[in-house]
């Protein structure tokens, strides 16, 4: 961009910083046609009418999460600054120790955490 504007790169960076601009990544999303947008709008209005009487307060949203002891390695983001490489290899076990946790939430509050016993599917 500095070449296009025929200014130094450092000058461009300074201008961007003074303007308070930040770099953002572009997010991918599904392209919607006008018909799909209209259909989404229609269904949204139907949902609003359906739950206008307060029935939404009786819905229980649940989720579970498996926590493992072993660290997940992301080669793209995990970096170590050192003179030599202290982490040339990262060992992994095929079945690390883990625990499954279950919880739920409603309009009235949340459920207590439930630790799922090992072996339960």
- Condensed to tens digits (0 to 9), the pLDDT of residues 49-81 reads 988 888 888 899 999 999 988 877 777 777 767
Report, as an integer, the average pLDDT of 23-37: 89
pLDDT in tens, 75-108: 777 776 777 766 667 777 888 888 999 999 998 8
| Structure tokens that stand for 36 in this block | 């799909």
Q: Are 35 and 41 in contact (CB under 8 A)?
A: no
> Torsions phi, psi of 87, nearest 5?
-120, 55
> What's the CA gap between 43 and 31, in Å, rounded?
18
Nearest Cα to Cα of residue 69 among 42, 97, 41, 89: 97
Which residues, including other chains, have CB under 8 Å from residue 108's CB and lie 6 or more apart? 57
pLDDT for residue 87: 65
Structure tokens at 50: 């359906």
Q: What is the pLDDT of residue 77?
A: 77
Q: What is the mean pLDDT of the chain?
A: 86
């Amino acid at each position: 961009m500095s070449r296009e504007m025929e200014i130094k790169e450092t000058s461009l960076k300074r201008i961007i910083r003074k303007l308070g601009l930040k770099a953002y990544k572009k997010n991918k999303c599904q392209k919607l046609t006008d018909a799909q947008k209209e259909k989404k709008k229609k269904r949204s209005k139907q949902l609003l009418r359906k739950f206008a009487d307060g029935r939404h307060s009786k819905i229980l949203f649940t989720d579970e999460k498996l926590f493992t002891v072993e660290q997940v390695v992301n080669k793209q983001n995990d970096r170590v600054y050192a003179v030599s490489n202290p982490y040339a290899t990262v060992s992994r076990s095929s079945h690390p120790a883990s625990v499954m946790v279950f919880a739920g939430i409603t309009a009235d509050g949340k459920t207590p955490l439930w630790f799922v016993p090992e072996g339960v599917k």
